[in-house]
């Protein structure tokens, strides 16, 4: 089982796709609380060239709060990471962490139900990238 949800996209520029993903996350109640530009960071830190690769830390405060009430250690899995990257064939791909893959091993029905809700919202974001 994959630990991520993914969608290949070819009809946006990288910047357009980034803005579209942020808009769609917002529609689903997520805010972007962190942005990590891997391309820029690798160039600055170790002077290597890398393709465009952006990690967005997306958080839906209502879901985060419910998850923290259900399991105080869940913070190690927060926020939900969403990746936008150029692919080797010149296209782009958007990936999101699939929270349900990690919740299956936890003996916590509340988290299992919550992760299913979050997964549906993240899947909705990916499906909206038309």
Residue-wise pLDDT tens digits, 62-116: 999 999 999 999 999 899 999 999 998 888 999 999 988 876 667 788 888 999 9
Q: 58: which residues sit within 8 A by CB, 6+ positions away?
A: 25, 30, 31, 32, 33, 79, 80, 81, 82, 96
Instruction: Report the domain count for the chain.
Output: 1
The C-alpha atoms of residue 40 and residue 53 are separated, in whole angstroms, by: 9
By residue range, what is the domain housing residue 19? Answer: 4-127
Q: Tell me, what's the pLDDT at 90?
A: 80
Q: Tokens 């990936």 label which residue? A: 95
Which CATH number goes with the domain that contains 42? 3.30.310.70
pTM of the model as a whole: 0.92
């Amino acid at each position: 089982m994959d630990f991520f949800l993914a969608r290949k996209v070819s009809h946006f520029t990288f910047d357009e796709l980034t803005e579209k993903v942020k808009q769609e996350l917002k529609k689903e109640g997520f805010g972007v609380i962190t942005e990590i530009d891997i391309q820029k960071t690798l160039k600055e830190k170790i002077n290597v060239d890398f393709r465009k690769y952006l990690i967005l830390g997306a958080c839906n405060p209502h879901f985060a709060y419910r998850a923290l009430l259900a399991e105080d250690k869940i913070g190690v899995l927060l926020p939900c990471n969403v990746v936008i990257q150029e692919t080797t064939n010149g296209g782009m791909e958007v990936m999101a962490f699939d929270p349900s893959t990690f919740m299956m091993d936890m003996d916590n029905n509340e988290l299992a139900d919550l992760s299913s809700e979050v997964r549906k919202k993240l899947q909705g974001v990916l499906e909206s990238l038309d």
